[in-house]
A and B are shown apart, each in its own frame.
Chain A
């Protein structure tokens, strides 16, 4: 019989000494679980923590987390934020199931016998880091630089400290970065050409609006907390118009719904602008004193645009266009919420510029309750301490300076001798295939699930074959992890320190570590520190990242006087009492009408835009031509944030299965009945899914909501190619992607 060692080693798990006295009190009291009585709820029985939802959603909720015995029991919205106002969304309420899901990745692991073999072996963190460090050093030796090491990271887990992932890469040297954003870049550039920045009004001031156009956004599913402001505006007498190719849930809540032809929003906006001009409804003071190029734009409208033409292109009757334009102009203030869906087109940036121009002409820029609302980064002035790291001495990279590495690249480019190699995040597969001198050999993936979110999934599969090593930092076994060599378990928001703000509202939220990390999960900066230890052990000086990090200290290091001043707080600790809102001089952006354009004025005519290869004026640009009978739209569903949440059991109870939505007439023509299994296909791939018939979609459109189901191989990216949107390169480093300019056919199977 083996000797039982009480005190030491792996075998003696249960630390401490057996105490007979205590053991005497044991069994009886434990046998019967206490029945729940209807005693009043007692919040003091819990430890309450502050968290900030990091899922890159408009709403970026301030969360209150209730912990008992070190276990997160339930979550609710912070009542202190007038935006979150005590309620989370259906996704947020599912968080407890996410942390304690048995499906979470628990340990660092390596896949042997090839990616997809399913032969996984556990690694200690040290072993994992040794393998990774060896590979990085091997690449450096072979290539003389680290440009063969690529990083693809986006917004799967936001929070300022998580920019430590980019910091980790910089601390190794100059690497290849997948830059840009699939989200909103065309619109960002458009607003930069027109206004000099992207800066929206406080969404809470929509209650002051008298006319609201929600244009290509579906807040009822994607920004639920904004709906109460629309409702309040309506209660105060405002009219709400929703313009969308789909009869969305938001459309159902509007006063008027315009079902626009997809990609024709720009023509529609120009038609409305022409009508303002014809009716003498242009705000003279604004276009003469605060804008440049208006006369040229007016000239363009007179020569090239009529309401009848706009009606023909968009499908909205001319009488409607006239009526709404006049109502919008008469209502003061009036606003347009420009959605991100609307700019995911080959003409997306041009369309946003047309809408901006319409709002500007109507005199609603810089007005409380007005504005061409798109987004803002006005509250993001952190230190980026985790992100800004120095390359090791003597690092060699891409010769010359670099551009921005995404919309959140607050560190900027710089004029160093060397820089990172920037490749387009929206063409992940193609960039991997095309990379030369040196080829991409290794890919680090964090806060991102490329196999669910990147375009042309079949091409991505081919591209990954080129890579010598793929490392994923993840919480769940996604298709991306399946295609990885090494997976590292990442903490959830409840297991790490962070701070977060929104690109829509103006609240700042602390994210406290509410529970200890489950299993062996580490935060991104802890992973960076572990890698730094391994690198420096093998080759001293090869990584500049701190070798020990304290999550809380690193969170504190992101704060500065500017942030404290903007939010009117003395210290980050004030946020323990609840989130803080920026102290705004006005709820209106551009309230001083000092624009950040080269002219300092609103630019109907932008020379910068022309210099970058587009039209100087917000002219009409035709959308991508159809290549198959149906246009495919793949927007978001309320149960998912991209590939997150639908894999949780609680969510499966509400959303067990995806569908393709098809108009009954189109279905009839194709011989497709309700709930029939169909094949949605194009030249790049196919999706098999059941069909639901609904007039919510147009006859020539199919709709599939993107999501990742743990038990299904459903993936809309099988049929979404990587065709670029027009704009985005200026501010985010790469153009956007034409997610909604996709064409497919459908058949019953």
Chain B
């Protein structure tokens, strides 16, 4: 059976350190202001302690990617292994994808006048390595999974604060953060 690569974010392990985002910049040498992965603190309405639980998000490598549908020049490719690759050389910078992705994964690079996004470090995966962000996660919160083999029953597809997009069927899975019992002096 073929693989279906996806990110798993165990929010119960994520400490919001930004190591994943920095590892991405370190390896992919992104332009200033460009981030393919970003760490967002959860709103206090979702997790009641300020800046203590996080969503680390990049491209969700959807089953039916909105970016791919919106792209007029076929710059997007959905690979058999689930990875959605953006081919910058084909991109004409129309920003259709940027506007169509509800997760804000493709970003417009104003300098280069093209869109760009996370490709799950496909060149590393092909060399038998983990994506830079996954390797860079010190706590093991961010993992690479094969959805075809994934059997974690705690995992959810749509945590609070993350848009529900059934048609796109984003591949990222999440384990929700817990809270300690608190005794305040």
- In the complex they form, whether A and B have CB atoms below 8 Å apart is answered with yes
Tell me if A220 counts as interface (CB < 8 A to partner B): yes
- Report how far A321 CA is from B87 CA in the complex, Å: 60
Closest partner residue, chain A, to B16 (CB atom): A249
Contacts of A692 in B (CB 8 A): 50
Contacts of A76 in B (CB 8 A): 23, 135-136
Within 8 A of A (CB), among B18-57: 18-19, 21-23, 25-27, 29, 32-33, 35, 49-53
Q: Are A40 and B185 within 8 A (Cβ)?
A: no
Within 8 A of A (CB), among B128-185: 129, 135-140, 177, 179-185
- Report how far A74 CA is from B27 CA in the complex, Å: 6
Contacts of B18 in A (CB 8 A): 90, 638-639, 654
Q: Are A251 and B137 within 8 A (Cβ)?
A: no
Tell me if A261 counts as interface (CB < 8 A to partner B): yes
Q: Are B123 and A41 within 8 A (Cβ)?
A: yes
- Report how far A620 CA is from B121 CA in the complex, Å: 56
Contacts of B177 in A (CB 8 A): 252
Tell me if A649 counts as interface (CB < 8 A to partner B): yes
B19, B53, B140: which contacts A88 (Cβ < 8 A)? B19
Q: Are B15 and A220 within 8 A (Cβ)?
A: yes
Tell me if A542 counts as interface (CB < 8 A to partner B): no
Stretch of A310-318, A332-340, A364-372, A598-606 that contacts chain B:
A310-318
Contacts of A430 in B (CB 8 A): none
Tell me if B101 counts as interface (CB < 8 A to partner A): no
Contacts of B129 in A (CB 8 A): 41
Tell me if B13 counts as interface (CB < 8 A to partner A): yes
- Report how far A42 CA is from B129 CA in the complex, Å: 10
- Report how far A160 CA is from B23 CA in the complex, Å: 28
Within 8 A of B (CB), among A80-98: 85-90, 93-94, 96
A227, A256, A317, A639: which contacts B15 (Cβ < 8 A)? A227
- Report how far A656 CA is from B114 CA in the complex, Å: 27
Tell me if A127 counts as interface (CB < 8 A to partner B): no
Q: Are A257 and B185 within 8 A (Cβ)?
A: no
A35-B89, A40-B126, A654-B22 known; A87-B181 Cβ under 8 A: no
- Report how far A260 CA is from B119 CA in the complex, Å: 46
Q: Are A256 and B19 within 8 A (Cβ)?
A: no
Tell me if B73 counts as interface (CB < 8 A to partner A): no
Q: Are A41 and B138 within 8 A (Cβ)?
A: no
- Report how far A94 CA is from B32 CA in the complex, Å: 13
Tell me if B113 counts as interface (CB < 8 A to partner A): no
A38, A247, A258, A317: which contacts B122 (Cβ < 8 A)? A38
Contacts of A227 in B (CB 8 A): 13, 15, 138-139
Interface of B: prevailing SS: loop
Q: Are A259 and B183 within 8 A (Cβ)?
A: yes
The residue in B12, B21, B23, B26 that gathers the most chain A C-beta atoms within 10 A of its C-beta is B26
B181 to chain A, nearest CB (A): 5
- Report how far A257 CA is from B49 CA in the complex, Å: 13
Closest partner residue, chain A, to B48 (CB atom): A695
- Report how far A517 CA is from B122 CA in the complex, Å: 34
Tell me if B124 counts as interface (CB < 8 A to partner A): yes
Contacts of B12 in A (CB 8 A): 253
Contacts of A249 in B (CB 8 A): 15-16, 52
Contacts of A654 in B (CB 8 A): 18, 21-22
Tell me if A597 counts as interface (CB < 8 A to partner B): no
Contacts of A35 in B (CB 8 A): 88-89
A211 to chain B, nearest CB (A): 14
Tell me if A564 counts as interface (CB < 8 A to partner B): no
Q: Are A224 and B19 within 8 A (Cβ)?
A: yes
Q: Are B181 and A90 within 8 A (Cβ)?
A: no
A252-B53, A255-B181, A315-B185 known; A224-B124 Cβ under 8 A: no
- Report how far A414 CA is from B26 CA in the complex, Å: 48
Tell me if A698 counts as interface (CB < 8 A to partner B): yes
Q: Are B185 and A87 within 8 A (Cβ)?
A: no
A616 to chain B, nearest CB (A): 29
A94, A231, A638: which contacts B139 (Cβ < 8 A)? A231
B36 to chain A, nearest CB (A): 13
A93-B136, A224-B17 known; A257-B183 Cβ under 8 A: yes
The residue in B16, B29, B52, B181 that gathers the most chain A C-beta atoms within 10 A of its C-beta is B52
Contacts of B123 in A (CB 8 A): 38-41
Can you list, as one digit per residue, whether each of A241-270 has a CB less than 8 Å from chain B (1) or not (0)? 010000101111111111111001000000
Can you list, as one digit per residue, whether each of A644-668 has a CB less than 8 Å from chain B (1) or not (0)? 0000011001100000000000000
Q: Are A224 and B139 within 8 A (Cβ)?
A: yes
- Report how far A42 CA is from B127 CA in the complex, Å: 7
- Report how far A42 CA is from B185 CA in the complex, Å: 55
Tell me if B85 counts as interface (CB < 8 A to partner A): yes
Q: Are A256 and B181 within 8 A (Cβ)?
A: yes
A89-B138, A220-B17 known; A251-B185 Cβ under 8 A: no
Q: Are A224 and B53 within 8 A (Cβ)?
A: no
A257 to chain B, nearest CB (A): 4
- Report how far A220 CA is from B15 CA in the complex, Å: 6
Within 8 A of B (CB), among A6-56: 35, 38-43
A88-B136, A231-B139, A247-B49 known; A260-B15 Cβ under 8 A: no
- Report how far A254 CA is from B177 CA in the complex, Å: 11
- Report how far A721 CA is from B184 CA in the complex, Å: 28
Tell me if A155 counts as interface (CB < 8 A to partner B): no
Q: Are A252 and B49 within 8 A (Cβ)?
A: yes
The residue in B22, B124, B181, B184 that gathers the most chain A C-beta atoms within 10 A of its C-beta is B22
B13, B22, B32, B126: which contacts A231 (Cβ < 8 A)? B13
Contacts of B124 in A (CB 8 A): 40-41
Tell me if A221 counts as interface (CB < 8 A to partner B): yes
- Report how far A698 CA is from B181 CA in the complex, Å: 17
Contacts of B137 in A (CB 8 A): 87
Q: Are A696 and B22 within 8 A (Cβ)?
A: no
A216 to chain B, nearest CB (A): 14
Can you list, as one digit per residue, whether each of A201-239 has a CB less than 8 Å from chain B (1) or not (0)? 000000000000000000011001101100100000000
- Report how far A125 CA is from B106 CA in the complex, Å: 50
- Report how far A650 CA is from B129 CA in the complex, Å: 25
Tell me if A320 counts as interface (CB < 8 A to partner B): yes
- Report how far A638 CA is from B16 CA in the complex, Å: 9
Tell me if A75 counts as interface (CB < 8 A to partner B): yes
Tell me if A536 counts as interface (CB < 8 A to partner B): no
Q: Are A252 and B179 within 8 A (Cβ)?
A: yes
Q: Are B17 and A93 within 8 A (Cβ)?
A: no
Q: Are B136 and A87 within 8 A (Cβ)?
A: yes
Contacts of B15 in A (CB 8 A): 220-221, 224, 227, 249-250, 253, 638
- Report how far A320 CA is from B182 CA in the complex, Å: 11
Tell me if A694 counts as interface (CB < 8 A to partner B): yes
- Report how far A253 CA is from B47 CA in the complex, Å: 13
Can you list, as one digit per residue, whether each of A287-320 has a CB less than 8 Å from chain B (1) or not (0)? 0000000000000000000000000001111001
Inter-chain pairs besides A41-B123, A93-B136, A315-B184, 11 sampled, C-beta below 8 Å: A38-B123, A40-B124, A76-B135, A77-B136, A90-B19, A252-B53, A253-B12, A316-B185, A317-B183, A653-B33, A654-B22
**Can you give 23 contacting A-B residue pairs, CB < 8 Å?**
A38-B85, A41-B127, A76-B135, A88-B19, A90-B17, A90-B18, A93-B23, A93-B25, A93-B136, A220-B15, A220-B17, A224-B15, A228-B139, A249-B15, A249-B16, A252-B52, A255-B181, A258-B183, A261-B185, A653-B35, A694-B50, A696-B51, A696-B52
Question: CB within 8 Å of A: which residues of B?
Answer: 12-13, 15-19, 21-23, 25-27, 29, 32-33, 35, 49-53, 85, 88-89, 119, 121-124, 126-127, 129, 135-140, 177, 179-185
5 closest residue pairs by CB, A with B = A315-B185, A93-B22, A220-B15, A252-B52, A40-B126
